[in-house]
Amino acid sequence: MKNYKKNKQVVQNVLIQDFAAEGKCIARLDGGVVFVEGNVAPGDVVDIEIFNNKKKYAEGRVLQTHSLSEKRAAPFCQHFGTCGGCKWQHIKYEEQLQFKWQQVYDHLHRISKVQLPDFEPIVASAETTFYRNKLEYTFSNARWFTPQQMDQADQLGSNALGFHIPRRFDRILDIETCYLQPDPSNQIRNKLRAFAMAEDLVFYDQKVNAGFLRNLIIRTANSGDVMAMVQFGHPNEEKVALVMAYLKNNFPQITSLNYIINQKGNDSYYDQNVVHYAGKAFIEEKMEDLTFRVGPKSFYQTNASQAYELYKITRNFAQLTGNEQVYDLYTGTGTIANFVARQAKSVVGVEYVAEAIEDAKVNSEINQIGNTRFYAGDMKNVLNETFVAENGHPDVVITDPPRAGMDESVVRTILRIAPPRIVYVSCNSATQARDLAWLDEQYAVRRVQPVDMFPHTHHVENVVLLERRA
């Protein structure tokens, strides 16, 4: 940015003008833009230190705040500002919703450039705290100390169980209370940490990949089921038994207790063997009259009650009468497929994670749903004319791709298959907008419905109904 060439330059009394992408805010200086992150809100007046000065924009950090915006709310969490979890706690929820709606509006208008109807108001999340059903806490021997904790660092010790500091794989913020997941999540984490420290168990060292306790995954289902899973860095039978017996004996709420011995260089566990230690091998989530079985490696939407709202909108947009053949692309564990199955003639789900497809089949079976079929494979290889000839021509395609959106070849295939209706569920309205531009060749956008699944973050879901032009 031309007038702020030097990094470390301080600019005083800057008005923060708006929200920007990725949860940042934006200020305009002499025709250029500065992206500011952290505890800042549109309407604040601040002093900024410039860093990362690029040709077209710069990034800045707040040095001092002179006046606070009316869009602000008081953060409710003691870890706010350090933890990367709920970066927008300092923004009123109505303002968060307004921004999310606007972001979807801007993406769809600016990127897709297709004709768009009026947008529906965003659906707010009924729960703005304790809305997640899954959290992953990391053990570390490299605790992050906040400036206030620095003086007591010796007393507090270097072990931590909590969340990664943003952009620091090797530093963990010790969490005392997290407002994302209902209890017993906080209790289990805090008591397990205290027990592990009392027993002198070795917390993991992320820098050299060594140590005994790696991470703790807790899932709390709306049926009341609770799953806990501990990852250990090496097989020490006696100590593994000590930790697992502690959890079993002290937390009768845990209905599924599991562990993994993970000796790899990273703690992703999808390729690891899960040892089922006690209780059931899965937990159950309820939605309408359906039960979904969720295993230790299964994906399930993390805000379950808002997922129900999202799926109702999806089903409503699909306008099912009982006679439709539906394709559910990127079906995951088949949740949408099973959710719409009773209102459709049949549903075909496609997803590339083979284990997810196994879960999808089990979920149809336990709900006595007999009109679904599921296939595992990469969408661009699976979805083609032969597949359609074998499975029947779809009246409705529901698609819920990952953040990258659909591969162009998948969009081209959908255009050739030409279903009368497409319901496009997206967690990234920018890539969705790109895909809508491709689909515009044959499809008109009829409805747009943003949905907030993740309060206090910048993430937003969006459901779009497209109809084939006559």
Ligand X SMILES: C[S@@+](CC[C@H](N)C(=O)[O-])C[C@H]1O[C@@H](n2cnc3c(N)ncnc32)[C@H](O)[C@@H]1O
435 is an interface residue for ligand X by CB under 6 A? no
Beta bridge partners of 103: none
Considering the rule CB under 6 A, would residue 399 count as an interface residue with ligand X? no
The answer to whether residues 159 and 234 touch, using CB atoms and an 8 Å cutoff, is: no
Tokens standing for residue 140: 């570390």
Q: Are 463 and 425 within 8 A, CB to CB?
A: yes
CA distance 325 to 348: 8
Instruction: Choose which of 82, 331, 363, 429 interacts with ligand X (CB under 6 A).
Output: 331
Rounded Cα distance between 412 and 137, Å, is: 41
Span near ligand X by CB under 6 A; candidates 63-71, 193-201, 399-407, 416-424: 399-407
Q: What angle do CA 181, 183, 185 make, to 5 degrees?
A: 65
The stretch near ligand X (CB under 6 A) out of 3-11, 100-108, 325-333, 362-370 is 325-333
User: Cβ closer to ligand X: 354 or 470?
Assistant: 354
Minimal distance, residue 166 CB to ligand X, in Å = 23
Q: How far is the CB of 338 from ligand X (least distance, A)?
A: 10
Contacting residue, 301, 367, 431, 462, with ligand X by CB under 6 A = 301
Q: Which stretch binds ligand X (CB under 6 A): 140-148, 219-227, 254-262, 347-355?
A: 347-355
Q: Which of 386, 387, 458, 464 is nearest to 422 (CA)?
A: 464
State the minimum distance, in angstroms, from the CB of residue 378 to ligand X: 5
Q: Determine which residue in the list 305, 352, 391, 457 makes contact with ligand X, applying CB under 6 A.
A: 352
| 3-state SS, one letter per residue, for 163-223 | EEECCEEEEEEECCCCCCCCCCHHHHHHHHHHHHHHCCCCECECCCCECCEEEEEEEECCC
Catalytic annotation present for 25:
no
Task: Assess 330 for contact with ligand X (CB under 6 A).
Answer: yes
By CB under 6 A, name the one of 176, 378, 385, 390 that touches ligand X.
378
Q: How far is the CB of 380 from ligand X (least distance, A)?
A: 6
Q: Between 217 and 340, whose beta carbon lies closer to ligand X?
A: 340
Asked if 361 and 338 touch (Cβ cutoff 8 Å), the reply is: no
Distance CA 421, CA 390 (A): 20
Regarding 402 and contact with ligand X (CB under 6 A), the answer is: yes
Active site residues: 427
What is the binding site for ligand X (CB under 6 A)? 299, 301, 330-332, 335-336, 351-353, 356, 378-379, 400-402, 427
